Amino acid sequence: MKKILSLMLTVVFCLTFVVSGFAEEASSQTAPEKLQKVEKYLYGTEQAGALVTRIDNLETDVYGHRTSDAILTRIDNLYTNIEGIPTDGSPSFATKLNAVEWQFADRMSAGPAKTRIEEDEMILNGQSSTQKSLITRVDNLVKAAFPAGSLVGSTAVLPKDSLIKVKFMADVKSKVNHEGDDIDFVVADNVYVGETLVLPKGAKGSGTIKKIVPARSFGRDARIDLNFSNVVAIDGSIIPVYVGDLAKQEAKTAAGAAGASIGGMILFGPIGVIGGAFVNGQSVVIPAGSNTFVQVAKNCTVNGIVQTAATTTTTDAKIPVVTNATVVTSTNDTKTDVIK
């Protein structure tokens, strides 16, 4: 009976996939795609087994029990609860988890959500609450991370060309690294749109080494060219970034005489590693802790968070940002504003 049911569900899923391919309806993702996305977000990989079993396991983990709705409804509900944006003004599941990590560790992780929840529980309580649903566990972590106030969800648009200060988390060396290697960098300061936090300090960035030119004759030093691709917003959405003219100018202004030019970028800080440390013999080194600026490639909608005054515990440097191609400096001493 289970084999027959599984076969029928497979047929339904295939039909769903085919139909959506021919008619571009309001829903941009099919049921199989939604199921896979939820599994990859929670566990890091698509799960094996019959479709009904996978759905049962997900519901048990997420809600603490299985539901009796139709199969496609169950998948839609799981997707909405984990990947969607709530309509009641509360932060999404991903936003809450990212906010907790930001509060605890000053950096957002990119691992499977279930593993991240367990790690946060171990940091807080010394043990994991595996007997509770994931939704309950995340809500409990939020209460522990922000005991003096609450988080409110707020959708905001991060404008194109907004400037973001980033920090390298690992050395990049022309003698060690290769073209195509990933570069480890994070957002260096909180970024707000009005009162809404959209990019927390420590948000993960993605990029690669575009080109390495080795040291050549006549004393010509090596060269490293980097490609900054994106940073991850607090709701888990991807914000495309690049090093444009505005980012280069802001980095040059911030660095002053202490800056160093690497592949067309200006890098600066931390104190003591700028200058001679960038060029060691004929090799080039970008030390961990170095900063530069990138800019947002397009307008991006983010389901951010608004904190009550009692829960705001960090003080951030002021960062000039771009609004309608004009550089504007925030006058707020407690956070980095993008636009008000």
Same domain, 236 and 311: yes
Same domain, 141 and 160: no
| Domain membership flag for residue 21 | no
pLDDT at residue number 90: 79
pLDDT at residue number 27: 55
Same domain, 318 and 175: yes
| Domain membership flag for residue 17 | no
d(CA 262, CA 246): 16
Same domain, 114 and 162: no
Three-state secondary structure call for residue 115? helix
- Residue with the larger pLDDT of the pair 127 and 312: 127
- Does the pLDDT at position 325 exceed 50? no
Least confident range of 34-48, 166-180, 270-284: 270-284
| Domain membership flag for residue 137 | yes
Q: 136 falls in which pLDDT band (50, 70, 90)?
A: very high
Same domain, 49 and 100: no
Least confident range of 61-65, 101-105, 229-233, 318-322: 318-322
DSSP 233: -
pLDDT tens across 69-95, in order? 999 999 999 999 998 877 777 788 988
Q: 103 falls in which pLDDT band (50, 70, 90)?
A: confident
Q: Exposure of 97 by Cβ count < 10 A (0-12 exposed, 13-18 middle, 19+ buried)?
A: buried
pLDDT tens across 110-134, in order? 789 999 999 999 888 888 888 899 9
Residue reference for tokens 């939704």: 135
Same domain, 176 and 314: yes
- Amino acid present at 128: S
Give residues with Cβ within 8 angstroms of 59, minimum separation 6.
65, 66, 67, 74, 78
- Amino acid present at 107: R
CATH code at 299?
2.40.128.260
Total count of domains within the chain: 3
Same domain, 165 and 307: yes
Domain boundary at 133, 149, 165, which? Answer: 149
Cα dihedral angle (140, 141, 142, 146), rounded to 10 degrees? 110
Q: 141 falls in which pLDDT band (50, 70, 90)?
A: very high
d(CA 221, CA 47): 49
Domain boundary at 149, 164, 180, which? Answer: 149
| Domain membership flag for residue 334 | no
Same domain, 121 and 67: no
Same domain, 145 and 164: no
Q: 336 falls in which pLDDT band (50, 70, 90)?
A: very low
Q: Exposure of 117 by Cβ count < 10 A (0-12 exposed, 13-18 middle, 19+ buried)?
A: buried
Three-state secondary structure call for residue 12? helix
Domain boundary at 149, 172, 190, which? Answer: 149
Beta-bridge mates of residue 204: 186
Closest CA to 234 of 316, 151, 309: 151
- Does the pLDDT at position 140 exceed 60? yes
Q: Which domain holds residue 106?
A: 93-149
Same domain, 138 and 250: no
- Amino acid present at 270: P
| Domain membership flag for residue 22 | no
Same domain, 191 and 280: yes
- Does the pLDDT at position 242 exceed 70? yes
Maximal C-alpha separation, the chain: 77
Q: Exposure of 271 by Cβ count < 10 A (0-12 exposed, 13-18 middle, 19+ buried)?
A: exposed
Is there a contact between 134 and 97 (Cβ–Cβ < 8 Å)? no
Q: 309 falls in which pLDDT band (50, 70, 90)?
A: low
User: Residue 48 is encoded by which pair of tokens?
Assistant: 């094996």
Mean of pLDDT values over 51-55: 95
Is there a contact between 135 and 300 (Cβ–Cβ < 8 Å)? no
Same domain, 128 and 144: yes
